[in-house]
Chains A and B, each alone.
Chain A
Amino acid sequence: MEPAKKIDHSHDEKTAKPKKNPKKPKKFLRKSTKEGLSGYLFMSPTIFTIGVFVIIPILYALYLSFNDVQLLGGIGYEFIGLDNYTRTIDDERALIALKNTAEYVLIVVPVQTCLALLLAAALNSNIRGKNAFRIIFFLPTVTSSAVLTIIFMWMYNPDGLINNFLQFLSLPTYNWLADPNIALKSIMIMNIWATAPFFMVIYLAAMQDISDSVYEAATIDGANWWQKFIYITIPILKPVTFFVVVMGVIGTFQLFDQSYIFSGGSGGPNNSTLTIVLLIYQYAFKSLDMGYASALAVVLAIIIMVVTLIQKKFFGEEKLHD
Chain B
Amino acid sequence: MKKRIFSKPFIYGVLILYAIITFIPFLWAILSSFKPLEEIVSGITFFPESFTFDNYAQIFSREPLFLRWMFNSLFITACMVFLNIIFNSMAGYALARIKFAGRKFWFFLILVVLMIPFQVTLIPSYLILKAFGWLNTYQGLIIPGMVNATFIFMMRQFFLNFPKELEEAAQMDGLSRIGTFFKIVMPLAKPALAAQAVFIFMSSWNDFMRPLIIMSDEEMFTLTLGLNTFKGQYISFWNLIMAASTLMTIPSLLIYAFFNRYFIKGVTFTGGK
Out of B157, B177, B271, name the residue touching A7 (CB < 8 Å).
Answer: B157
Evaluate contact between B19 and A54: CB separation under 8 angstroms: no
Q: Which of B28, B120, B126, B268 has the most CB of A within 10 A?
A: B120
List of B residues within 8 angstroms of A41 by Cβ: 177-178
Interface SS of B by simple majority: helix
Q: How far is the CA of A150 from the CA of B124 in the complex (A)?
A: 30
Nearest CB in chain B: distance from A1 CB, A: 7
Query: What sequence of 0s and 1s flags, for each residue 241-273 of chain B, a beta carbon within 8 Å of any chain A beta carbon?
Result: 110010011001101100010011001101111
Interface size on B, residues (CB 8 A): 100
**CB under 8 Å from chain B, chain A span 118-172:** 118-119, 122-127, 133-148, 150-155, 157, 159, 161, 164
Query: What sequence of 0s and 1s flags, for each residue 200-233 of chain B, a beta carbon within 8 Å of any chain A beta carbon?
Result: 0010011011001100000000001001100110
Out of A133, A154, A257, name the residue touching B19 (CB < 8 Å).
Answer: A133
**CB under 8 Å from chain B, chain A span 1-21:** 1-4, 7, 10-11, 15, 17-18
With contact pairs A147-B245, A257-B209 given, residues A161 and B28 touching in the complex (Cβ less than 8 Å): yes
| Closest B residue, CB atoms, query A4 | B273
Out of A3, A144, A226, name the residue touching B272 (CB < 8 Å).
Answer: A3
**Pair count A-B, CB < 8 A:** 302
Evaluate contact between B177 and A57: CB separation under 8 angstroms: no
Interface SS of A by simple majority: helix
The answer to whether the Cβ of B87 comes within 8 Å of any Cβ in the partner chain is: yes
With contact pairs A133-B19, A205-B268 given, residues A54 and B116 touching in the complex (Cβ less than 8 Å): yes
Q: Which of A142, A215, A298 has the most CB of B within 10 A?
A: A142
Evaluate contact between A297 and B120: CB separation under 8 angstroms: yes
Out of A49, A141, A215, A256, name the residue touching B2 (CB < 8 Å).
Answer: A215
Nearest CB in chain A: distance from B187 CB, A: 17
Nearest CB in chain A: distance from B20 CB, A: 9
Nearest CB in chain A: distance from B100 CB, A: 3
With contact pairs A144-B252, A151-B29, A225-B3 given, residues A137 and B22 touching in the complex (Cβ less than 8 Å): yes
With contacts A2-B272, A39-B98, A261-B208 known, what are 20 further pairs, Cβ within 8 A? A3-B273, A39-B94, A39-B103, A42-B98, A46-B90, A49-B144, A57-B124, A58-B121, A122-B11, A125-B11, A137-B22, A143-B249, A146-B248, A151-B245, A197-B22, A202-B268, A226-B6, A285-B126, A300-B117, A305-B116
21 A–B pairs (Cβ distance < 8 Å), ordered by A: A1-B272, A32-B99, A39-B98, A45-B87, A45-B146, A45-B147, A50-B109, A50-B147, A53-B121, A53-B125, A55-B109, A58-B116, A60-B128, A137-B18, A143-B249, A147-B249, A153-B231, A161-B28, A260-B209, A277-B119, A280-B123
